[in-house]
Amino acid sequence: MAFIGLLPKDYEPQRFEEEILSWWEANKIREKVNQLRANGPKFYFLDGPPYVTNPIHVGTAWNKILKDAYLRFYRMKGYHVRDQPGFDMHGLPIEVMVEKKLGTSTKRDIEEVIGVERFVNECKSYALENLKIATNQFKSLGVWMDWDNPYMTITNDYIEAVWWMIKKADEKGLLMRGVRVVHWCPRCETVLAGYEVTDEYRLVKHPSIYVKFPLKNKDKEFIIIWTTTPWTLPANVAVMVHPDYEYARVKVGNEVYILAMERVPFLVSKLNVDYEILEVFKGRDLEGLKYEPPLKEEVPLQSELTNAHYVVLSDKYVRLTEGTGCVHSAPGHGEEDFEVGLEYGLPTPCPVDENGRFTEQAGKYAGLKVFEANPIIVEDLRRKGLLLFEEEAEHRYPHCWRCKTPLILRLADQWFIKVTDIKQRMMEENERVTWVPEWAGKSRFGNWIRDAKDWVISRQRYWGIPLPIWICELCGKYVVIGSLKELIERAVEKPKGDIDLHRPWVDQVKLRCSCGGIMRRVKDVVDVWMDSGAASWASLSYPKRAEDFQAWWPADLVLEGHDQTRGWFYTLMVCGVVAFDQAPYKRVLMHGFSLDQYGRAMHKSLGNVVYPEEVISKLGRDALRWYELKCTTWDDLKFTWKELEEAFRALNIIWNTYYFASLYMNLDKFNPKAISLKDLLDKLKPEDRWILSRLNKLIAKATTDFENLKVFEVAKDLMDFLVNDVSRWYIKLIRRRTWVEEDTVSKTIAYAVLSDVLFKSLIMMAPIAPFMAEKIYQDMFKCLEDMPESIHMMLWPEPDISLVDEKLEAEMGAVKELIETALSIRQKAGIKLRYPLTRVIVVSDDKLLKDAAEKLKHLILDQLNVKELDYLPLSEELKLKNVIIKPNYAVLGPKFKDKTPKVVELLTKLDMQEALSKLSTEGKIQLNLDGEVIELDRDCVKLEEMPLEGLAWESFSRGRVYLDTKLDEKLIAEGLARDIVRRIQEMRKEADLKVDAFIEACIVVPNEKALEHLEQHKSYISQETRAKVLNITLSRELSKGMKLVKEWDIGEELFIIGINYDVS
């Protein structure tokens, strides 16, 4: 007959987890689970592809652990889960790493020394090598995904899917080529999109200068501008002012300055000069006012510009929070400047090349890197008398997100997706998406869409999806290719050998234009964020193959960090609307960042990165999983070893709980499948009904929380349930029932309830701590009849709401608090629980507590080891305590002044019981002070309470508990005898004795007192343990040679017990 198996006594996560990993792999358990669910409703999880550049840390682990928990849950709910992982394998992250490996840092080296083909192949090799490393790390965490078939953004099929979308954008009129001011990395020599810039601002120090722009044909009169980018002054073409702000002509010495009226006090305080306001007017009155460019002599280009060097208006981009209200405008180096420049038809000089160096157009500054030119330009302004004031400003400045180089703004010819044309549709689609938390989508993401700008998709790099645009050398016409098939059909020249749509293979493909000319591909690659943005269909090999797309799309869930509201969530939405006019996902879960305990991001440079391998070697995988899953998903996770160790300790408690159950059920050969819990419901004790109520309420809540993407609630509630409700409470309540040797109905019910609770909890544990759940299942439950191969093949439990009893739960909560209070009294009084006490007295007017104490009296007596329970109303508490009324001098002194001593003397002579009664009923007492009746209210006195001798007390939320602490030898002896009986019964179980089997027993005691106590209860011990012979002795000799001998620590004293069996 099958029965509950026995767990190993000790929790050894490192050994168990390695065994389980190997077993899952060898037996293809994930694949078998997915086959079981193949006919279930579909659940399309779309994995956000990580970059394959660095080993994962605990933050990356959190991301994948979250995903794994939800995938495991939905499998257990019967869903057919698509669990394909993805990897982002193109882009600057990999290029930068390969450049370091090859010892280069410039595009010229790549093209002329290394060669594009070798560089691209090195990037591909690096990406594939790191994909294997990341895969093994994720698999080690117990993340169940289809690791043998990940989607990789470097395959031809994937590239075709992105090309198809770009062609779709062109067909919809959303693809355009244009000159725009863009963020540019001078080290990587490529453009960056706006969303790539937002998360890489760093504090830097730059010169902060106030410059005098001389007015044309006005002697010693200047417009005052402020800038922190002196290097943009060689490209100045205008000054912007706000049409509605007030501006002033301000006389300082023999010069006149024009600036915003509100900024005058600030500037003159910096200059520490006297001034006079000559005139005040609106900014619009300055429109068209001409000035001389301050670097006209140094930069000849300035003299060649037309329609330049005058005041223009902007009510959008001029502010009074800093500067002078007069904004230096260089349309070739500023997005806002460029926009205003278009309105006025201003020229757009940009004398800076791809390396961030000034071109010949910059005159004196040609060849200098822009930031190197700053001090030279400042010195030139000083020499010319045009530098009004200089200081250093610390501010946040954008840097390249991969190489960390400061970015510049420069004019460049690029390819764009006109996001501004579809942003309304994106906002409509976003309203159909369920965001968790809601504010992430409706506020943060919604605002990002509302402010969205056109997306520059071209990149001047090498390792990426080639932009599928061919341009005619003769007529300039362009064509967008949407597939490999179309490319082959239209090609008039292509390289031989295997087809690889990367550079340089694709660069060699030539097409024929309708005009007869040759069309060559533009050299750009696609923004790497478009790679992942197309993942919702590209991972399904659409449009090349339509079956999977029709079966799965759109995604049911995407889950990433909060930075992706401006990254992947955003590009997914853009690409989905471009391609299908629809959001590519139904639900989005946003999680926080993983930080160190001080709230700092984890970086190698700070030395605060924690790798999963370090955690695994110390505490195991499940400790990391449960710890991270308990954290509120959308808050930042501040990683601390202390909290991680607390999670490990909780896992130890949980393991010990299952071990306890397995030990006793295994000894008793208990088979939960042979018993129907439903048939026993009318025989359940209150504690059994309570734990079943708690269990089924937990199942209901955990199901809802998982479905609402709140796994952190499940992780916290399940741990609390197993540690506090089951281990620290229910098992304490039923322990004596399990010690009984014979198969009583009470013990059977306790086993049936406990096994039901533990098994259903184990299923709920499986998505959170899959290793522990599997190990316990394999050793404890798998041996029962008709059990599946793995715990992960089980279906999620359904709650039985009929078993939920809110009133009983409230009553048990009240009794639990009562018991904990009384145990605290025992501890403070130094009376161990093994010693029985005569009575506990509860003083309260709480009806729920009174009903609970009556219903659960047996638990109170048992858990407190007391003989009697008394219950008194508050009005009768005086029977149990002495109350002394003492003067409150802080009130009496000011009130009675020199009469205070006499008042105090009268107080000491009062009949305390009568005075207390008066205070209680009337709120005051009266005294006769030299013929004068005076009244003392409650504030005038202090009540000092003390329990009667032999009693100890403590208050709790519903009243007060009194414990009779008087011990006598009889009670001490009784407690020791009960402890001995329990130990012998455990030894009988260990020896696998039948209930009616007789034994011989020997008890070696530590001292005469213990000998005397046990001799008083020798017949009781013999009867309870079926001992035909019982020796109680001080000598160890009698125990030697017995079949089973064990040492027991009872009350910090050593007892040796030996038994012989097979006694007739």
Binding residues for ATP: 604
Which structure tokens are listed for 711?
A: 């796994």
b/e per residue, 603-630, with b = 16+ CB within 10 A?
Answer: eeeeebbbbbeebbeebbbbbbbbbbbb
Closest by CA to 594, choosing from 69, 56, 94, is 56
Give phi and psi for 544, each to the nearest 5: -60, -40
- Backbone phi and psi for residue 280, each to the nearest 5 degrees, phi listed first: -125, 140
Tell me if 870 sits within 8 A of 838, measured CB to CB.
no
Cα distances (angstroms) measured from residue 982 to each of 80, 204, 245, 668, 749: 51, 72, 90, 16, 20
Cα gap 976→1051, rounded to integer Å: 9
**Rg of the chain over all Cα atoms, to the nearest angstrom:** 41
CA angle 951, 953, 959 (to 5 degrees): 130
CB 215 within 8 A of CB 257: no
User: Would you give the DSSP letter of residue 234?
Assistant: G
DSSP collapsed to 3 states, 296-363: CCCCCHHHHCCCCCEEEECCCCCCCCCCCCCEEECCCCCHHHHHHHHHHCCCCCCCECCCCEECHHHH
3-state secondary structure of 848: helix
Binding-site residues from annotation:
604
Q: What amino acid occupies position 828?
A: K
Alpha helices of 77-115 — where are they, by DSSP H? Answer: 92-102, 107-109
The burial of 121, by beta-carbon neighbours within 10 Å (0-12 exposed, 13-18 middle, 19 or more buried), is given as: middle
Contact in structure between 792 and 774 (CB atoms under 8 Å): yes
**Contacts made by residues 974-978, CB under 8 angstroms, sequence distance 24+:** 974/836, 974/1017, 975/834, 975/835, 975/836, 975/865, 976/834, 976/1010, 976/1013, 976/1014, 976/1017, 976/1050, 976/1051, 977/1013, 977/1014, 977/1016, 977/1017, 977/1020, 977/1021, 978/834
Residue 436's H or E segment, with its range, is strand 434-436
Q: Which of these, 575, 572, 567, lies nearest to 585 by C-alpha position?
A: 572
CA distance 216 to 305: 15
Identity of the residue numbered 184: W
Cβ atoms 42, 80 nearer than 8 A: yes
Question: Cis peptide before 543, with omega less than 30 degrees from 0?
Answer: yes
* β-sheet bridge partners, residue 570: none
Cβ-proximal residues to 986 (8 Å cutoff; 6+ apart), any chain: 739
Q: Are 964 and 840 in contact (CB under 8 A)?
A: yes
